[in-house]
Amino acid sequence: MRSAMTRARYGVLLAPLCLAGAGPARTADPQLWVSNEVGNTITVISPRTNAVRATIAVGKRPRGLALSPDKRTVYVALGQDDAVGVIDVAKAAMTKTIAAGRDPELVVVSPDGRTLYVSNEEIAHASAIDAGSGAMRFSTPVGVEPEGIAVSPDGAKVYVTAETSNTVSVLDATTGRVLRTIHVGENPRTVAFSPDGRQAYVTAEAGGNVTILDVATDSVLGQFPIRDGKTKPVRIAFTPDGRLAYVTEGAAGSVSVVDLTARKVIDTIPVGKRPWGIALSPDARWLYTADGRSNQVSVIDTQTRKVSATIPVGDRPNDLLYIP
């Protein structure tokens, strides 16, 4: 009964371009996935054409998105369902949900694909879940209002930001034991690893800065401002060569281009209102932002550093996931 009800509740709503088929099949064509926090849907876009290929109905308050290593499964944090949705990429359908503790905001996947890690904002925990069985492996108290979460490239540690505590908790990825608590900028939102995996970058929304952590020692290497410190940096994406980073600025409606060697903003790109999620194509040619208050995705040509197109999506787009 429960599985039948789940299938009925979470059916796939196909966009006009997909009415003849059963949603986007997994092919060589890349896909861009967008979680719509208020619309309770995920929009699937073709980066080749900028056309919406499908709209997938999911649970309540979808935010963080994560991709399995084999690229067959997308996981979505469903904050008001206290669950993670499991979506078959080829079928563009949510097949089940996994209990994830109270109010999961973001989700990441271990390098081997066996474990999901979520930040449980309301209860100030970070949890680890077996991706296959759904069993809770641990749920560890961290700082107040955890949001950003990332697993180190070697799979050994999990990093969790806490908005109110202004900290990053470093956890043992197997046991959940807190290894270290690091003070960073005010209201940290995101933690993301450099392409070489040696550094972790933490954006501080209220602090208006980015803190750089050494992954080997979990020590602070430095901190630099994003423009005047008032633009509220949120998410970050790196070019594959590690030379540049792109940072969404929710208050300013823009993206800052950062020279990582100089630790300095070198350009600013206006986008829609309240840009939050960000994604970069693997060749670094196209950059995408989820413009939460504009209900659109901005497509940025990184060569000209200008918006080349906007794509209407669902209500309050939040996170972006590029599937190559």
**Rounded distance between C-alpha atoms, residue 163 and residue 120, angstroms:** 12
**Rounded distance between C-alpha atoms, residue 66 and residue 147, angstroms:** 14
Question: Would you tell me how many other CB atoms lie within 10 Å of the CB of residue 17?
Answer: 14
The percentage of the chain sitting over the pLDDT mark of 90, rounded to a whole number, equals 91
Instruction: Find the helix or strand (DSSP H, E) in which 4 lies.
Output: helix 2-9
**Rounded distance between C-alpha atoms, residue 100 and residue 107, angstroms:** 10
Confidence of residue 202 (pLDDT cuts 50, 70, 90): very high
Apex CA 317: angle with CA 295 and CA 2, to 5°?
125
Contacts with 48 (C-beta within 8 Å, 6 or more apart), sequence order: 29, 30
302-305 contact pairs (CB < 8 A, 24+): 305/257, 305/267, 305/269
User: Beta 167-172 vs 178-183: how paired, if at all?
Assistant: antiparallel
Q: Indicate whether 112 belongs to any domain.
A: yes
Q: Which two tokens stand for residue 91?
A: 């079928």
Confidence of residue 20 (pLDDT cuts 50, 70, 90): very low
Phi and psi angles of residue 323, each rounded to the nearest 5 degrees, phi first = -110, 110
pLDDT of residue 226 exceeding 50: yes
Q: Indicate whether 282 belongs to any domain.
A: no
Q: Region 9-16: what's the mean pLDDT?
A: 37
pLDDT of 17 reads: 33
The number of domains in the chain is 1
pLDDT of 116 reads: 98
Q: Region 9-25: what's the mean pLDDT?
A: 37
Range of the domain at 122: 100-225
Q: Indicate whether 177 belongs to any domain.
A: yes
The answer to whether 127 touches 100, Cβ cutoff 8 Å, is yes
pLDDT tens sequence across 110-159: 999 999 999 999 999 999 999 999 999 999 999 999 999 999 999 999 99
Give the chain's length.
Answer: 324
Q: Indicate whether 67 belongs to any domain.
A: no
**Rounded distance between C-alpha atoms, residue 161 and residue 290, angstroms:** 21
The answer to whether 76 touches 107, Cβ cutoff 8 Å, is yes
Q: Indicate whether 152 belongs to any domain.
A: yes
The answer to whether 272 touches 298, Cβ cutoff 8 Å, is yes
Q: Indicate whether 217 belongs to any domain.
A: yes
Closest CA to 10 of 53, 42, 32: 42
Confidence of residue 272 (pLDDT cuts 50, 70, 90): very high
Please name every residue paired with 223 in a beta bridge, in sequence order, or none if there are none: 211
Q: Indicate whether 161 belongs to any domain.
A: yes
Q: Indicate whether 130 belongs to any domain.
A: yes
pLDDT of 21 reads: 35
Confidence of residue 28 (pLDDT cuts 50, 70, 90): low
Confidence of residue 282 (pLDDT cuts 50, 70, 90): very high
Confidence of residue 22 (pLDDT cuts 50, 70, 90): very low
**Rounded distance between C-alpha atoms, residue 95 and residue 155, angstroms:** 26
Phi and psi angles of residue 10, each rounded to the nearest 5 degrees, phi first = -110, 45
pLDDT of 146 reads: 98
Mean pLDDT of the chain: 92
pLDDT of residue 24 exceeding 50: no
pLDDT of 287 reads: 99
**Rounded distance between C-alpha atoms, residue 212 and residue 167, angstroms:** 13
Task: Find the CATH number of the domain harbouring 162.
Answer: 2.130.10.10
Burial class (CB in 10 A: 0-12, 13-18, 19+), 127: buried
The answer to whether 125 touches 136, Cβ cutoff 8 Å, is no
The answer to whether 173 touches 179, Cβ cutoff 8 Å, is no
Q: Please tell me whether the overall predicted TM-score, pTM, comes out greater than 0.95 for this model.
A: no
Distances (CA, A) of 162 to 102, 123, 130: 16, 12, 24
Lowest mean pLDDT of 26-30, 50-54, 99-103, name the range. 26-30
